[in-house]
Amino acid sequence: MLEIKNLHAVIDGKEILKGLDLSVPLGQVHAIMGPNGSGKSTLSYVLSGRTGYEATEGTVTWKDKNLLKLAPEERAVQGVFLAMQYPVEIPGVSNMTFLKTALNAVRKARGESELDAMQMLKLLRSKAKNLGLSEDMMKRAVNVGFSGGEKKRNEVLQMAVLEPSLCILDETDSGLDIDALKVVADGVNALRSPERSMLIITHYQRLLDYITPDAVHVLAHGKIRKSGGPELAHELEEKGYASFGDEAA
Amino acid sequence: MPTTSKTFVKDLADQKYKFGFTTQIEAETAPTGLNEDIIRFISAKKAEPKWLLDWRLSAFRHWLTMTEPTWAKIHYSKIDYQASSYFSAPKQKKTPQSLADVDPELLDTYTKLGIPLQEQEALAGVERRVAVDAVFDSVSVATTYKKELESRGIIFCPISEAVLKHPALVKKYLGSVVPVRDNFFAALNSAVFTDGSFVYIPKGVQCPMELSSYFRINAQNTGQFERTLIIADEGSLVSYLEGCTAPKRDEHQLHAAVVELIALDDASIKYSTVQNWYPGDKDGKGGIYNFVTKRGACRGRRSKISWTQVETGSAITWKYPSCILQGDDSVGEFYSVAIVNNYQQADTGTKMIHIGKNTRSTIISKGISAGHAQNTYRGLVKILRTAKGAKNKTQCDSLLIGDKCGAHTVPYIESRQPKSRAEHEATTSKISEDQLFYCRQRGLSTEEAMALIVGGFCKEVLQELPMEFAVEAQKLVGISLEGSVG
């Protein structure tokens, strides 16, 4: 399971995470909700090891491994996957090449055999079909000229191909219309498994209408302020984050 | 302890250049220095006819009156032309008549370089074959598939052999595209050139396999001056590739080649280069000085010359493969990837000279700079009054890695024909932290991520390479940039 204890992180000299505690057991889906600027994206970057987002105090363990000591690619090998809020464009590199390179890098690091082009094509076809993505998209350069919805679906496709054990979805719902949201939610639901934990970071409750979490946590001012069941999301939708404002800090 | 870690770091820095080994072979090397006697010595070694010796001497006498060009954006300490040797040949008991006669030490060298010189049986659809002319220091040591090519009338041999066996063709075309007095380095090459490849494709023949020359500098204190001449007669087609490597040495070595291409009516020549001369170490010590003149003449109507180059090596690259578009409706193309790392300097580009009507040219240049390196694209598109309907499209993209390197673009466009069009586009970008993180989050190491991103940046050019070499070139791109991010 994912165990975060007393996590502090400083970005550009400013403390953003101020002693965050959180546990996500294997097989569970937890949602983290919170107002803008509460530290949601910072948490996702600290967990995935982005340069400039180093923890100053506390521990993060995943399957008994100290994640904070590992480089981003080593965390990926340990099964950490971050579906990004703003997926990055890589001109000239086809989606297919990108996924093949990534999957084989991870497989190699795990001591598994690498897939050849034919095996990869077969795998991608079946995964893409489930997400309603055209094969044509495999040939296009990574995220270049993709619509907002396509980019997010592409993130979920990568997740489906790489089969990580810890999925962090950073505001995957932002910028999606209701149809795209459903497709993405279906994709995520299909990946729910007793072998996989998920952390869904979101500002709004609407994604949680389609993905029912096992637990909901409220992140405000760099700490988890409240935890509860799925009903907590509805409560937040009605009352907003005001009660976690200044008096909670 | 400090010694051990220092050695380790050195080993690490050095392992990047895989081809830095030296072959221990007895060689016959001319004394250092450059004078008429040396030129006579080279000419005599090759048993050349008098006209060629006179041609060399006239080039040399003119060279003495010329000064080294200084307009390129490259800096290097003065080259002492008297300190180098102008001829070195591995000693062989007799001239090899077939591959079986070639010194195994030499064959082994090329195997280590990944260029097996054994001929493979023709297996339809299994693997495409490549005929190779292997040039070791000043001489060609082996040429494969000669017989098969001869059966179609194709001549593919060392230029020294062509001088003796096909004097009329050589005399007619040698120096016809790059005249003896063209420039300082071309004049020097004309005086002292030692070997190189000669290709003649007869009328209407499509060359059935890739032709390739592999140049290797081995001897110390030796310059390499090869000369390549390719003639595609009417309606013929040929694809040619050159590769090159050199051992790692602390001193600089000079390489000044001349390549001339001639395409007659409806002929097409595709010339690809994967240049991987030793680039020097991470502090800029050693490395090849690469001063090369490459030019193609589209003499015939509807003829086409296409240059593709992947430049990853050399301490200094000074090179402008160009096209003279004489024939109406002729086409010139230049696709280039130039990668510089550490203290490498590259000043490279092309000239497209539009003379005939409706001539078209395309230029795609991708420059990648890392470390303290400097990369310059220098190009000229010249449209003469006669070139009604001429069209050019130029695209120059630069990619920077780190903040100590530089990229420069110097495009000239001169048009004297109002009914013509020249387009120029240029971009400069950096590999972003976002891109690197995105790739690493998906499991790629920083170096794998760099190779992937840079490969994407160069894709338009790499896909122009023959299939067999595109994969190699892609790998080379990755290796050249190793250690460029901290």
In a domain, B439, yes or no: no
DSSP H helices, B215-348, are: none
Q: Which letter does DSSP use for residue A68 in this model?
A: G
Determine the distance in angstroms separating the CA of B475 from the nearest CA of chain A, rounded to an integer. 13
pLDDT at residue B236 tops 90:
yes
Residue B83 counted as domain residue: yes
Question: Measuring CA to CA, which residue among B406, B246, B247, B258 is closest to residue B318?
Answer: B258
Q: Is the dihedral of CA B119, B120, B124, B129 positive or negative?
A: negative
For A23-47, b/e burial (b = at least 16 CB within 10 A) is ebeeebbbbbbbbeebbbbbbbbbb
* pLDDT for residue B148 is more than 70: yes
- Could you tell me the sign of the dihedral formed by the alpha carbons of B326, B328, B330, B334, in that order? positive
CB count, 10 Å around CB of B93? Answer: 7
Closest alpha carbon within chain A to B447: A73
Contact B452/A73, CB-based, under 8 Å? no
Tell whether A1 lies on the interface with B, counting CB pairs under 8 A. no
User: How does residue B278 score in pLDDT terms, banded at 50, 70 and 90?
Assistant: confident
Structural domains in chain B (count): 1
Residue B250 inside a domain? The answer is yes
Look at residue B426 and tell me if it is in a domain. Answer: no
Burial of A229 (0-12, 13-18, 19+ CB in 10 A): exposed
pLDDT in tens, B15-35: 466 666 667 666 677 788 899
CB distance B433–A51 less than 8 Å? yes
Q: Model pTM?
A: 0.83
Residue B13, pLDDT above cutoff 60: no
At A226, the pLDDT band (50, 70, 90 cuts) reads very high
Distance separating alpha carbons of residues A79 and A193, to the nearest angstrom: 14
Q: B443, A106: Cβ pair inside 8 Å?
A: yes
Distance from CA of A181 to the nearest CA of B (A): 23
Determine the pLDDT at residue A36. Answer: 85
For residue B123, the model assigns a pLDDT of 43
Cβ neighbours of residue B443 closer than 8 Å, sequence gap 6 or more: A73, A76, A77, A102, A103, A105, A106, A109, A162
Would B342 be classed as within a structural domain?
Answer: no
B486 class by beta-carbon count within 10 Å (0-12 exposed, 13-18 middle, 19+ buried): exposed
pLDDT at A131 over 70: yes
**Over 50: is that where the pLDDT of B264 sits?**
yes
Q: Mapped to the 3 state alphabet, what secondary structure does A29-51 carry?
A: EEEEECCCCCCHHHHHHHHHCCC
Domain that holds residue B36: 23-319
B348-384 b/e (C-beta count within 10 Å ≥ 16 → b): bbbbbbbbbbbbbbbbbbbbbbbbbbbbbbbbbbbbb
Position B54 scores a pLDDT of 96
Whether the predicted pLDDT of B448 surpasses 60: yes
Q: What is the pLDDT of residues B319-370, one digit of tens each?
A: 999 999 999 999 999 999 998 888 889 899 999 999 999 999 999 999 999 8
Predicted pLDDT of residue A133 = 79
* A161 near B CB under 8 A: no
Query: Tokens in use for B424?
Result: 């120029």
The whole-number average pLDDT for the span A81-89 is 94
Q: How far is A205 from chain B (nearest CA, A)?
A: 27
Q: Which of B145, B157, B90 is nearest to B117 (CA)?
A: B145
Mean pLDDT of chain B: 84
What is the pLDDT averaged over residues B249-261? 84
Q: What is the average per-residue pLDDT within B36-54?
A: 92
Residues of A in contact with B395 (CB under 8 A): none
Given an 8 Å threshold on Cβ–Cβ distance, is A90 in contact with B444? no
Token digits of residue B54: 């006179």
B218 pLDDT band (50/70/90 cuts)? Answer: low
pLDDT of B246 reads 63
* pLDDT for B129: 63
Please report whether residue B66 resides in a domain.
yes
Task: Give the model confidence (pLDDT) of B72-128 as tens digits.
Answer: 898 888 888 888 888 877 666 555 566 666 677 766 766 666 666 665 544 444 445
The predicted structure's pLDDT at residue B404: 87
DSSP state of A114: P
Query: In this complex, which of A76, A84, A101 lies closest to B452 when CB atoms are compared?
Result: A101
For residues B251 and B154, give the distance between their C-alpha atoms in angstroms, rounded to a whole number. Answer: 40
Instruction: Give a yes or no: residue B35 inside a domain.
Output: yes
A67 phi, psi to nearest 5 deg: -65, -35
Query: Minimum mean pLDDT among A4-18, B9-23, B371-385: which range?
Result: B9-23
Enter the DSSP assignment of B224: B
Alpha carbon A13 to its chain's center: 25
**Which pLDDT score, from 0 to 100, does residue B279 have?**
79
- Could you give the C-alpha distances from B230 to A76, B233, B237, B356, in angstroms and in order? 52, 10, 11, 21
Q: What integer is the mean pLDDT of B211-233?
A: 82
Q: Across the A/B interface, how many CB contacts are shorter than 8 Å?
A: 78
> Which residues are A14's β-sheet partners?
A11
Chain B window 403-462: which residues touch A at a Cβ cutoff of 8 Å? 432-435, 437-446, 448, 452-453, 455-460
The answer on pLDDT for B260 being more than 90 is yes
B150-168 average pLDDT score: 93
Are the CB atoms for B98 and B189 separated by under 8 Å? no
Is residue B71 predicted with pLDDT exceeding 60? yes
State percent of chain B over pLDDT 70. Answer: 81
* B220 DSSP assignment: T
More confidently predicted of B311 and B1: B311
In this prediction, what percent of chain A has a pLDDT beyond 70?
98
Q: How many Cα atoms are found within 13 Å in the side-chain-facing hemisphere of B479?
A: 19
- Sort strands B322-325 and B304-311 into parallel, antiparallel or unpaired: unpaired
From A49, A76, A93, residue closest to B443, measured CB to CB: A76
pLDDT in tens, A167-212: 999 998 888 888 888 888 988 999 999 999 999 999 888 889 999 9
Q: Give, in words, the CATH class of A2-248.
A: alpha beta
Identify the residue among B440, B457, B461 best suited for mutation to test binding to A, counting A beta carbons within 10 A and taking the highest: B440
- d(C-alpha B354, C-alpha B486), whole Å: 46
Q: What type of residue is B22?
A: T
What is the mean pLDDT of the segment spanning A225-240? 88
The answer to whether residue A48 neighbours chain B at the CB level (below 8 Å) is yes
Pairwise CA distance, residues B425 & B25, whole Å? 50
